[in-house]
Structure 1
Amino acid sequence: MVKSFQGVRMAPPKKTTAQPLLVKDHMTTKLTTFKPDDTLDQVMEILTKKKISGAPVLDESGGLIGIISEVDCLKEIIKGKYTNTPKFPSKVEDHMTKNVMTLSPEMSLFDAAGKFLEFKIRRFPVVQNGQLLGQISLSDLIRAFPKLRQTTW
């Protein structure tokens, strides 16, 4: 009787569906936004009510022109305290960050993580062809990584 020995065979790899690793798959799309002529009083009330730390500022046509954050509001509060000249209600356009760094919706989460570490900011607007599509925050990024399978890294 002849026995055949074929050796150890490796099972073919199982097909896995790739986890989305792009900013567009993990960004927030329902955003609170502000206008340049909104007041800091309004901003602080809305940020507090919605428990968020900042939001994009859009012009009349919906184009992104800045970001207003709790830090921007705090700067004005502190400046007014020391100079005894609080400027409330002052306008968003006078206090927002105007030079806004944005991310592409097609950027990988790993590249986005690098940007968060490099610039040490809490949120990036996601823009394509000049249009605001959403925003990705550090929290969005942190929530995304545990959901990814090790094999997709």
Structure 2
Amino acid sequence: MLVHAIMTSPAIAVRPETPIADAAKTMLDNHISGLPVVDAAGRLVGIVSEGDLIRRTELNTERKRSWLLELLTSPGKLANEYVSTHGRTVEDVMSSTVVSVTSATTLQDVVELMEKHHIKRLPVVSRDKLVGIVSRSDLLKALTKLLPTRTADSKDQEIEAAIINELSGQSWSRSGSIRVKVTDGVAELSGSILDERERLAAKVAAENVPGVRAVFDNLVYIDPYIGMI
């Protein structure tokens, strides 16, 4: 799946000269934690997030250092921090180095970029101009559409067969040691396991089968070293 299928477009954005108070209000009003920053031509020039606004003189949350660390910190770094904690416009606090994607970027690449850079959103650009944004919430929305839905009218035998088929395809289930019985959409798991971690895996495998309303775990753990339950 590509970014264009799930991105939010148009993206809510601010200008560099936007007052910080207005940017914060925009985030709160729209229930978002970050905003792309664009110039008058719509070109992406930065991004501002909640994290850029948490160390502020108004909150008395400026970075505190011992006198020795203060002495060892470069004047340039101290000057940058002063701007961040006292600045009045988005340009003063925004991150100008922005990781972005295009509408043709795959979701796999999106997730890898988010994990690599520890970020929650990626602006989507075309010829340097902002055309949208893709965030973690967009990924979750796509996931909910793709996850199987539970339907009450699936026949118990079909559900039972589907669970058994799923378990038989997993090396951890040691095919045949876990038994399945489905009644009115409720799956009962019985039999034995040799590793407690298989218990949750079997439960998840059953829950993912359409039509399953609940899963009862009656699995017995047998210690593989001493053979005791």
TM over 0.5, shorter chain: yes
Report TM bin, short chain. Answer: 0.7 to 0.9
- Runs of 4+, deviation exceeding 2 Å: 75-83, 85-88, 145-150
The equivalent residue for 1:139 is: 137
The equivalent residue for 1:107 is: 105
Normalised by the size of structure 2, how large is the TM-score?
A: 0.51
Residue 77 of structure 1: CA displacement?
Answer: 4.7
The equivalent residue for 1:87 is: 86
Contact 1:29 1:134 (C-alpha < 8 Å) held by counterparts: yes
Normalised by the size of structure 1, how large is the TM-score?
A: 0.74
One of 95, 117, 124 as aligned partner of 1:126: 124
Instruction: Count residues in correspondence.
Output: 128
* Letter of the 2:86 counterpart: K
Whose RCO is larger (CA < 8 A, sep 6+)? 1
The equivalent residue for 1:30 is: 10
The equivalent residue for 2:26 is: 46
Residue 48 of structure 1: CA displacement?
Answer: 1.2
**Structure 1 residues not aligned, in runs of 5+:** 1-20
The equivalent residue for 1:3 is: none
Question: Greater CA radius of gyration, 1 or 2?
Answer: 2
One of 11, 34, 53 as aligned partner of 1:73: 53
Percentage of matched positions with identical amino acids? 30
Residue 74 of structure 1: CA displacement?
Answer: 1.3
Residue 33 of structure 1: CA displacement?
Answer: 1.0
Q: 1:23 to 1:80 in 2, by over 3 A?
A: same
Q: 1:132 to 1:46 in 2, by over 3 A?
A: same
The SS at the match of 1:135 is: strand
Distance 2:7 2:48 in 1: 18
Distance 1:136 1:77 in 2: 32
Contact 1:24 1:105 (C-alpha < 8 Å) held by counterparts: yes
Residue 76 of structure 1: CA displacement?
Answer: 3.0
Contact 1:103 1:126 (C-alpha < 8 Å) held by counterparts: yes
Distance 1:34 1:28 in 2: 16
The equivalent residue for 1:148 is: 146
Cα RMSD of the aligned pairs, angstroms, is 2.3
Q: 1:120 to 1:100 in 2, by over 3 A?
A: same
Distance 1:126 1:81 in 2: 33
Residue 124 of structure 1: CA displacement?
Answer: 0.3
The equivalent residue for 1:61 is: 41
Q: 1:81 to 1:146 in 2, by over 3 A?
A: closer
The SS at the match of 1:75 is: coil
The SS at the match of 2:122 is: strand
Which one has the bigger helix percentage? 2
Contact 1:80 1:87 (C-alpha < 8 Å) held by counterparts: no
